[in-house]
Amino acid sequence: MNLRQEIHNLLQNVGSGNMSYTAYDTAWIARLREIGDPLSGPATEWLRANQLPDGSWGTQQPYYSHDRVICTLAAINAFARHGRRQDHERLRKAESALNTAIKGLDADSAGETVGFELIVPTLLYEAQILGALHHQEDQILTRLMPYRSAKLAAMGHHLISRFVTLAHSAEMAGFDNVQQLLDAENLQEVNGSVGLSPAATAYFALYVRRGDPAALEYLHAVAPQGIAPDAAPLNIFERSWVLWNLALTGMLTDDLKTLCDPHLDFLEAVWKPGHGVGFADCYTPTDSDDTSLTYETLIRLGRSVDLEAVLHYGHIYHYRCFDLESTPSISANIHVLGALRQAALPKEHPSVQKVIKFLSSTQIDHSFWFDKWHVSPYYATTQAVIACAGYANELVTNAVDWLLTTQKDDGSWGYYSYMSTAEETAYCLQALMLWKQHGHQIPNKTLTQGKIWLLEHIDLPYPALWIDKCLYCPELIVRSAILSALALLEQE
């Protein structure tokens, strides 16, 4: 494999955000049959072809109960509204699989998917009204309703608009008296979407502003074959993470830097002083995760933006990812730490110490971290090692030992015992190589075996390990992590 050529090709393809398709959003596209939109036909056929053997929908591996519940519910409701006689058995199997997934929710170590406590009660209520569920799922409703009420109470008397992240989950508003929750006049982004979510936008075009031309134009642009990603576009998120991964290697020579320049120009242009960026230039809310990693990437690659945008997200004991978030993000705080380090703040600085203390208090068994944006602890843990190596070593020394001891016999890494992934393996190799570059010992066998396994599993498809309303895979970001790991290993 010609590594430089692979990086060259990657930089030419980075842009709007290459995402895996999701059953959840595609199920909402299938419902467009109500207004005669042609996307509904291929979306429905895709759902039929992609029902999993147990009767559920969602990513096949890993089995993540929250993902299976929300995807299966969305598909059940789509078929209950517009299915054919041939779909009766499909729905029977789906109901059984749904009950199994509901029982497994507590086993999901990284927690709920985005908006789960808001969306699932709405979908369950609809399924029961449609007669698609014959066993009352009162247990999960009893469990979720207090969380839904608390989340809505945090909004006060404000309606959901494009200025708050709840717009991304606008379909949670349901089908009766939607104006009580939604500010319909200020809900859409400039591209016609609602929260850059195909599901929320389809909901809007069906039940808020029926047949809205801008919403339908957006859906035809992001799901031209009826099959939808989790969110689109992701033109900041994808660029920043890809460039960050490549910047770690130190091998961006002049020809590759030339390919980086248009992406860096774009990131600088969309930066909002004092607030930073969100995951796309056409998404109104900004956040500390994208802001911090974009800041670090720009500074690493010779650009200049204001640190105040990162500091803007400071809270008492940690850094907020979004306003009104119910739980803090571990990885967002790790990326804040990386940005503060790149800004040359000393470890003793109060802003740095705030993050270090927060991360120390959230570390599991003094060894690793889980984060709400990813199902694998290898994501947050390796990001922490990279941010701390040579800066706050004491915070991650045990984490490095955990990485070493959890490598599998074949050289790979994978949190789930039944699967190893190129993504997780790449993250671990990145972190171990950068730890080694800061003067620490890493066994050669660990790196050699990891490299051999990674080269054998470098190509698509990659499993969906990232968490939004369901699981998804940002394919070029994962690819960039793999190429970054291999480039670092070449420096051995």
Q: What is the pLDDT of residue 251?
A: 82
Tens of pLDDT, residues 242-289: 999 999 998 888 888 999 999 999 999 999 999 999 999 999 999 999
The pLDDT tens digits for 307-345 are 999 999 999 999 999 977 878 999 999 999 999 999 999
Domain spans, the chain: 23-222, 237-490
Half-sphere exposure of 97 (CA within 13 A, CB side): 28
Question: Is 80 exceeded by the pLDDT of residue 177?
Answer: no
Residue 84, C-beta contacts closer than 8 angstroms, at least 6 positions apart:
none
* pLDDT value of residue 136: 56
Topology, domain 237-490: Glycosyltransferase (1.50.10)
Predicted confidence band at 178 (pLDDT cuts at 50, 70, 90)?
low
Q: How far apart are CA 27 and CA 39, in angstroms?
A: 11
Residues 88-101: tens digit of each pLDDT: 999 999 999 999 99
Residue 199: other Cβ atoms inside 10 A: 30
pLDDT at 16: 80
- Mean pLDDT score, 39-65: 97
- Domain 23-222: assigned CATH number: 1.50.10.160
Within 10 angstroms of residue 88's Cβ, the number of other Cβ atoms is 10
Whether the predicted pLDDT of 137 surpasses 80:
no
Separation of CA 460 from chain center: 18
pLDDT in tens, 466-485: 999 999 999 999 999 999 99
Mean pLDDT, residues 153-173 taken together: 89
Q: What is the distance of C-alpha 489 from the center of its chain? A: 27
Q: Say if residue 66's pLDDT is above 60.
A: yes
Mean pLDDT in residue range 205-230? 97
Fold matches, 23-222 and 237-490: yes
Q: What is the pLDDT of residues 341-368, one digit of tens each?
A: 999 999 999 999 999 999 999 999 999 9
Under the banding of pLDDT at 50, 70 and 90, the label for residue 54 is very high
Q: What is the mean pLDDT of the chain?
A: 94
pLDDT above 70 as % of the chain: 99
In percent, how much of the chain has pLDDT > 90? 86
